[in-house]
Amino acid sequence: MDEAFTTIMTTEPDYGVTDASDYPEYDLGSTEGAGLCDRSWVRAFRGHYEPPLFWMIFILGAFGNLLVVWIYTTVRHRLKTMTDVYLLNLAVADLLFLCMLPVLAVDVNQGWDFGISLCKMVSATYKINFFSSMFLLTCISVDRYIAIVQVTKAQNLKRKRLFYSKLACLGVWFVSFLLALPELIFAQIKTDPNGGPSSCALVYWNNENNTTKITVLSLQICMGFCLPLLVMIFCYSVIIRTLLQAKSFEKHKALRVIFAVVFVFVLSQLPFNSLLIYEAAQAANTTETNCETVIAFDVAGQVAKSLAYTHACLNPFLYVFIGVRFRQDLLRIVKTCAVWLGIGGLSKTQVVPKRPSVMSDTDTTPALSI
């Protein structure tokens, strides 16, 4: 196998911070159509759309997720269900990642000038956000499965479920940090030998057969994506069957709520993780040395990464358009602000509408409404 391509595959990060396009040219030697594989235009391609996209995600996501945190911690006064706890932690995970996006937006065009410590931190932040989001959505699916399918068990555990949810969140953050440790270990600042900007990239140990990289990618893909996805598919398949057997319209209407957040998350992350699977396969059997294929893989990785990043700002919009309780709380905030500003002619007694009674967490519609 060509030595140059080995370098590409062993030093290329998992699109977490930068990509192999940070290394502008590779000599593909004996490859057909050989010569220099000029990949500098991939960085130019990134420079045109990534900075404005990252700033837009940051602004929208920060506003929306801070609003979610405010509603859960202030407007509702206390977390009443396990789903409330998980969704609050989901918003915190998104905010953690969003704090790193301005750094990534600057890095695209100026190179990495932020030091090794921030390089490792930024590299790990996306993975922590991804794994924690995946695990929290899995926890929600298991909780909904118990509340809807295992009603008797849910009633028996009613008093302890909120405590279990907080304990589960601690486990989620701990496991997510463990799975992101490779980013903290392998993230390094790479200098361009041709005088170009430096980059923050994952540099795996250059051992025989790329065993380190294959092990890391396989563990992260299996434990952080495939296994949680299988659990969610099982839980929601049984939930669908249970709800479809019910004759209540409201229970059928609740199907929109339970799938929206999970569907959008999986849809945004699936292309990115599919490319990681392809990358792991290439690391195990590095036979591809075609320059056009390498560049196409780079471009696909950038598009998939950008799609994955957009998830950090989408959940609040889903809550507004789909979540009944969240929309009611948001309306209360708007009316309160209108009274404070003297807009709309509302009195203080008209600000707080009568909230629907808090029903049991095992009742389907409120349990599934955000």
Compute mean pLDDT per 10 residues along the chain, 370 residues long, and list them.
39 43 36 51 79 93 91 73 86 93 87 89 92 92 86 73 86 95 90 76 77 86 90 90 71 65 86 83 66 78 88 85 76 77 57 41 42
Q: How many residues does the chain have?
A: 370
CA 156 – CA 7 distance, rounded (Å): 57
Q: Residue 118's beta-bridge partner residues? A: none
The answer to whether the CB of 19 falls within 8 A of the CB of 302 is: yes
Q: Is residue 43 part of a domain?
A: yes
Tell me, yes or no, whether 298 lies in a domain: yes
Are the C-beta atoms of residues 122 and 104 closer than 8 Å to each other? yes
The whole-number pLDDT of residue 261 equals 81
Helices (H), the chain: 3-11, 40-70, 82-98, 101-110, 115-148, 151-156, 161-179, 181-186, 211-221, 227-245, 249-253, 255-284, 291-310, 315-322, 324-341, 364-368
- Is residue 186 in a domain? yes
pTM for the whole structure: 0.79
Residue 206 domain flag: yes
Whole-angstrom CA distances from 280 to 23, 120, 214, 277, 335 are 20, 21, 5, 5, 53
Report pLDDT for 37: 62
pLDDT at residue 289, rounded to an integer:
57
CATH code for the domain of 254? 1.20.1070.10
Residue 340 domain flag: no
Segments forming the whole domain that contains residue 140: 3-322
What's the confidence (pLDDT) of residue 146?
85
What the block records as the tokens of 273 is 């993780």
pLDDT at 265: 87
Q: Can you give the pLDDT at residue 181?
A: 93
* 336 domain-assigned: no
Residue 46 inside a domain? The answer is: yes
Predicted local distance difference test score (pLDDT) of residue 3: 41
Identify the pLDDT of residue 370.
Answer: 56
In Å, how far from its chain's centre is CA 231? Answer: 18
Total domain count, the chain? 1
In a domain, 256, yes or no: yes
Q: What local confidence, expressed as pLDDT, does residue 1 receive?
A: 41
Q: Which of 71, 64, 365 is nearest to 243 (CA)?
A: 365
pLDDT the model gives residue 286: 59
